[in-house]
Amino acid sequence: MAHTVSYKPLVQSTTERPHITETTKTSHALARAEAICRSHGVRLTRIRRTVLEALCSSSKPLGAYELADLLAPGPRRMAPITVYRALDFLIEQGLAHRLASRNAYIATVDSDGTHEATAYLICEDCGAVEEASSAAFTGALTDLLARAGFEHRSKVLEVAGRCSRCQGRGGRH
């Protein structure tokens, strides 16, 4: 079956302002993903890879339906379930992350297996998201959980506000 995946280079929509060319970042992340999947004994199929690529090359988190449109534009877009399955896989492997407060997904940047607590800083102006962590923060959170006797499985630390770049640009547009 031919089944061409009409995948586009994912230029940022022209209404956005791309910060940097993300090609390098993307290829790095992909190489890392390949390695991780090999070591985990799981398959990074074409769909999963294209979803990950899309997440990597976007400067902002993407919704599942947005991904569906990006990966197979036009009237016959990818079925939601297909995207969700790919996302579930990527999240399980620690390659992507779900932003619960946004119903959107981003590629994980760090994730070197270091068990650091990561806060996601979501800019409400430009939509960009950056990961932030520190030893003090990780320590304090770990301590907090220990004292509560809580056995954590997943942490969702999301902070909404304005990134430093957008603060410089005066009031909210």
Partner DNA sequence: AAGGGAAACGTTACGTGATTGCGTATCTTC
Partner DNA sequence: GAAGATACGCAATCACGTAACGTTTCCCTT
Q: How far is the CB of 139 from a copy of itself (least distance, A)?
A: 7
Q: How far is the CB of 92 from a copy of itself (least distance, A)?
A: 15
Query: From the list 164, 170, 171, 173, which residue makes contact with a copy of itself (rule: CB under 8 A)?
Result: 164
Reported as type and span, the H/E element at residue 131 is: strand 129-132
Question: Please, which residue, 16 or 66, has the CB nearer to DNA?
Answer: 66
Which residue, among 56, 75, 65, has the nearest Cα to 10 in the 3D structure?
56
127 binds, among a copy of itself, DNA, none (CB under 5 to 8 A by kind): none
Q: What is the DSSP string of 69-130?
A: HHHS-SSSPPPHHHHHHHHHHHHHTTSEEEETTTTEEEE-S--SS-----EEEEETTT--EE
Residue 77 lies near a copy of itself (rule: CB under 8 A): no
Residue 169 lies near a copy of itself (rule: CB under 8 A): no
Query: From the list 1, 2, 136, 170, which residue makes contact with a copy of itself (rule: CB under 8 A)?
Result: 136
